[in-house]
Amino acid sequence: MEPILTNNSISLNPLMEIILQEIKQTGPIPFSRYMELSLYHPQWGYYEQTANNIGSKGDFITSITTTPLFSHLLTEQLLAWSISFKWEKPWIWIESGAHDGTLANDILEYLSSRGLTENVLYYIIEPSDKRRKWQEVKLKSYSNIRWYSSIEHLPSSIRGILFCNELLDAFPCNLFEYDAHKNLWYELYISSHDEIYRPVELIWQRSPNPTPLPTELQSINCKYFQDGYKIEHSSLSTEWWRKAAKSIYQGILLTFDYGIRDSELEEGFKPMSTIRAIAKHQYQDNWLSKPGKIDLSSAVHWDEIIRTGQESGMQTSKLTSQEQFLMQIIQFLQNQNRIQLSTAPSMNTQSKDLIIINPSELKTLIHPQYFGHSFQTLVQTKN
């Protein structure tokens, strides 16, 4: 394999030692393996070390950590959907990617404020023992929660709603680079410099031979792709969505995430890569510099996820911006005279049915410069 980047030295840490040892034993590893170790290693992975890496004092913020308003509006939508299906109570709501349990806590707290806690049975899909312990501590006052280690362990033939926020973008992905001169693709791998007179560092290496893109991406027109253009693909996120769709006998699949359409790729609207490496609210240029110390993610390929759900019996209700999704909920509540704008907290203790919305909190969730346009909402249903 031919090295194509050799410039950024790295200080060793325990996870770096593990990665270097694996490369020494097996040879260069795909980016998906590097991402898997960096994010999910049981001891040193980014999401396994602390519950505090997400939020204003951590490395990045989400709609959930910014304001409970997101959770309150989402809860209103989950209630409306559950009522529309005319299910018997308790309704089953399933969250995946719960991290430290903040979203679950906000939803259950909101239900409690309206006297509706007993109407919902809340499932959490959590493969990590460590994250489950964080969640159990935060949610210890609620008795209507059930934990499952994977989708496969859920009860069969579920009638319910399965939802996640910024989960699909965190699945490990493979990385491919375009050679415009040859009109060929090559997979990128991770190798290392481990010589006595050179700093220990991780480097990129191209596969020695051209690598066809995954089948799901082969129909994309490369006309506007520049030399060195990189495209990511996560078979794990697609497979997870397929399992999620098949687990629902009747109900809804819902996800909030940042992603890209095939048409945007073909028209050159995508940057040279959608990989994001973030630490302390700053994008990192070197994705390989601090394994386990920075967050890694990639844009969701919406067309592939949509097709996957539909192949598993789902119907696509909408793919829209987070702004439009939340504003539709607000409009629904306004028609019921249940919205009040105020600088007071977004949960009102005087009226169970009235929602107080702080304009500055709402702006963060819907304004194009914040979460409004950068994040999209996919809703698929099965009747």
Q: What is the pLDDT of residues 194-215, one digit of tens each?
A: 665 556 789 999 999 999 999 9
Average pLDDT for residues 17-27, to the nearest whole number? 94
Most confident of 4-13, 176-185, 272-281, 355-364: 176-185
Q: Are strands 184-193 and 201-206 parallel, antiparallel or unpaired?
A: antiparallel
Instruction: Decide: 104 and 145 in contact? Cβ < 8 Å.
Output: yes
pLDDT of residue 6: 37
Tokens 């520049």 sit on residue: 226
3-state secondary structure the chain: CEEEECCCCCCCCHHHHHHHHHHHHHCCEEHHHHHHHHHHCCCCCHHHHCCCCECCCCCECCHHHHCCHHHHHHHHHHHHHHHHHCCCCCEEEEEECCCCCHHHHHHHHHHHHCCCHHHEEEEEECCCHHHHHHHHHHCCCCCCEEEECCHHHCCCCEEEEEEEECCHHHCCCEEEEEECCCCEEEEEEEEEECCCCCCCEEEEEECCCCCCCCHHHCCCCCCCCCCCCEEEECHHHHHHHHHHHHHEEEEEEEEEECEECHHHHHCCCCCCCCCEEEECCEECCCCCCCCCCCEEECCEEHHHHHHHHHHCCCEEEEEEEHHHHHHHHHHHHHHCCCEEECCCCCECCCCCCCEEECHHHHHHHHCCCCCCCCCEEEEEEEC
pTM beyond 0.95: the answer is no
Residue range 261-272: mean pLDDT, rounded: 79
300, 257 Cβ separation under 8 angstroms: yes
Quote the pLDDT of residue 372.
Answer: 52
- How far CA 136 is from CA of 62, 128, 139, 150, 380, in Å, comes to 21, 12, 5, 17, 29
Task: Give how far the C-alpha of residue 139 lies from the chain's centroid of Cα atoms, to the nearest Å.
Answer: 22
List domains and CATH numbers for the chain.
2-55+171-237+260-300 (3.40.50.12710), 63-165+314-382 (3.40.50)
Most confident listed range (254-258, 346-350, 361-365): 254-258
Rounded to an integer, what distance in angstroms lies between the CA atom of residue 166 and that of residue 62? 8
pLDDT band at 351 (very low <50, low <70, confident <90, very high): low
What percentage of the chain carries pLDDT values higher than 90? 71
Q: How confident is the model at residue 370 (pLDDT cuts 50, 70, 90)?
A: low
Q: Using CA of residue 233, residue 235, residue 238, residue 244, what is the dihedral sign?
A: negative
